[in-house]
Amino acid sequence: METINVNDFSDLEEEFLARVNKIVWCNVATIDRKGRPRSRVLHPIWEGSTGWILTWRNTLKAKHIAQNPHISLAYVGEPLKPVYADCTAEWIDDLETKQHAWDMFKAAPEPLGFDPALIFETVDHPNLGLLKLTPWRLEVYTIAVDTKIWRQAV
């Protein structure tokens, strides 16, 4: 087995999006005030290499991200073919971008898509948060086969 470091997101984009759009739900780990990881299951949607999560704003994860914006996502729908995304997360508060993400979720076919109004009622709900995920490392792993890894240039 060989690890292939790819130079451009486009070198793994098709496989990355196919897998994450099929698996849908992923484990998301943040770092607490004492430097310990804390995991939960969330439902991102990806637009190219940018991830979006509609989630409750006033939560423990919000406190974690305020202190340390680095998060790690693990998609494990097929144990031999996981996908990992290490990202920075930032809260996006402008209504136009929230509406864009809302519309993406609403327009996507199930199980990836859903109607956010079932949870948040309206896009301007006071506790609706939008997390923007900017990856610095993506890994599309296949056990016993070549693994592709992309890292953001530093």
Could you give all domains of the chain from N- to C-terminal order, each with its CATH number? 3-151 (2.30.110.10)
pLDDT tens per residue, range 96-131: 999 999 999 999 999 999 999 999 999 999 999 999
What is the model's pLDDT at position 150? 82
Contact 140, 5 (CB under 8 A): no
87-122 residues labelled b (16+ CB within 10 A) or e (exposed): bebeeeeeeeebeebbebbeeeeeebebebeeebee
Question: CA of 150: how far to CAs of 13, 47, 84, 139, 141, in Å?
Answer: 10, 16, 11, 7, 11
Residue 26 above 60 pLDDT? yes
In this prediction, residue 50 has a pLDDT band, given cuts at 50, 70 and 90, of: very high
Residue 3 above 90 pLDDT? no
Q: Is the pTM of this model over 0.75?
A: yes
Residue 2 above 60 pLDDT? no
What is the model's pLDDT at position 31? 97
Tell the residue number behind the tokens 């592709």, with chain if given.
148
* Percent of the chain at pLDDT exceeding 90: 82
What is the model's pLDDT at position 37? 96
